[in-house]
Structure 1
């Protein structure tokens, strides 16, 4: 039976804690640190494969923690594009560079976050922009990019944020919709990952040893978000989105 080494746990436990806090509701920037940290001790493809079962368990915990909160219309608007994005990722996985995709998503996310802070700090209070309504074409595009990025690089959070955050939903409704979207996306990803042979005994054993950490970190993230008000939540989410964009840009360029 395969047993991970101490070096593996020294990198993998912090990685799972960061992803668990993100899954609990603290934004996608923390999650983007997970695979690179684990890739310090295993290959990047193997790290992504180890993470997928952990992500699914985190999704189950997060779904239970946020079972009373959702924005159904947001989920219905963005989910079809997400499923199409996964299918495109599977079909083109051998042709498209994950690093090139990271750079494209990074640039869009950085500009998106900087625009928010520019408006917040430089626009007079009485000229503050109103929350955006649902936009079907935009929902399909960013949903598809989120599903695609989630499949090829576990980086679906920033495109989701670019579509949803300008609507300024209640933080609990936003988090509930986000949790449901990525739970469904990760569940669908199991099929192509299995077809690609990612779930061998070694990877599944490594995933299983990290499940207790995943559970505790996800619950901690959910508890923190529940106690935030909207005036703190959205500046924090945009700051984390900016951090996610910078991290993706660094990974893609390096």
Structure 2
């Protein structure tokens, strides 16, 4: 159950705007920080169900400016691999207790920060050669699974797409198409698991304008602000929220 009080709006509005900016202008997978923020105050299943329609709305808004600017061959492999990944995520969501989901979301948050900082310091490098079709399918499986349980499928997709030597525009357009397709796959299983309620749709109606605002801003900020600044904010959000989620899950 969602209580539409001041706490809800103070958490949800910035989180949804952030998700829109991330998905609209920075194909990084950082949009899942919105889920990490909301899971602090609401059960994981409630948060996942609330965010999915909003993320799907952002996906639709982003398709137009990036239409057919993606790398279809790469997208096709990742989307196909996403099918079993979504099925695996649906199974876990059906059997996992809420604290396990909190722990997983918190762990993914901290791993995302660790991965990005490791790349910045040169400890980990993006692939220097094109990864093959098998890796593309495996990437899709990982993205489908992590996206289903935490809306956090971005990192594996980023690694694969960066190995393909895509330019900035084609890379961003490819992430938009891939997650539009994966989020569509998730809708039916989410509905079957009872993730959508009356409160979900009230929340969607209240937050949809802010999701669209974030998407609009992300497309325009794509070439206006440096990526490092956006990621610094992301790292801070994910470190704080990820640590709290793990603490809450264990205690």
- Give the deviation of 1:173 after TM superposition: 0.2
* Unmatched 5+ stretches in structure 1: 122-127
Residues 78 and 237 (structure 1 numbering): CA distance in 2 closer, same or farther, change over 3 Å? farther
Summarize the alignment of residues 88-107 of structure 1 with structure 2, pairs less than 5 Å apart.
Answer: 88-95=88-95, 97-98=100-101, 101-102=104-105, 105=108
- Give the deviation of 1:5 after TM superposition: 2.3
- Give the deviation of 1:47 after TM superposition: 1.6
Contact 2:93 2:149 in 1 (8 A): yes
Q: Distance in 2 between matches of 1:129 and 1:3?
A: 43
Per-residue deviation, residues 114-163 of structure 1 (Å, max 9, x unmatched)? 55334499xxxxxx998421322222222111100111111111121122
Summarize the alignment of residues 1-254 of structure 1 with structure 2, pairs less than 5 Å apart.
Answer: 4-28=4-28, 30-95=30-95, 97-98=100-101, 101-102=104-105, 105=108, 109=112, 112-114=115-117, 116-119=119-122, 131-227=128-224, 250=243, 253-254=246-247
Contact 2:139 2:157 in 1 (8 A): yes
Q: Distance in 1 between matches of 2:65 and 2:224?
A: 13
Local SS of the residue matching 1:33: helix
* Unmatched 5+ stretches in structure 2: none
Larger Rg, first or second structure (1 or 2): 1
Local SS of the residue matching 2:93: coil
Residues 244 and 75 (structure 1 numbering): CA distance in 2 closer, same or farther, change over 3 Å? farther
- Give the deviation of 1:87 after TM superposition: 1.0
Local SS of the residue matching 1:163: helix
Residues 16 and 109 (structure 1 numbering): CA distance in 2 closer, same or farther, change over 3 Å? closer
Q: Distance in 2 between matches of 1:238 and 1:133?
A: 25
Q: Distance in 1 between matches of 2:126 and 2:42?
A: 46
Of the structure 1 ranges 238-247 and 84-93, higher mean CA displacement relative to structure 2 is found in 238-247
RMSD, aligned α-carbons: 3.3
Residues 130 and 143 (structure 1 numbering): CA distance in 2 closer, same or farther, change over 3 Å? closer
Aligned length: 243
Local SS of the residue matching 1:4: coil
Q: Distance in 2 between matches of 1:3 and 1:112?
A: 35
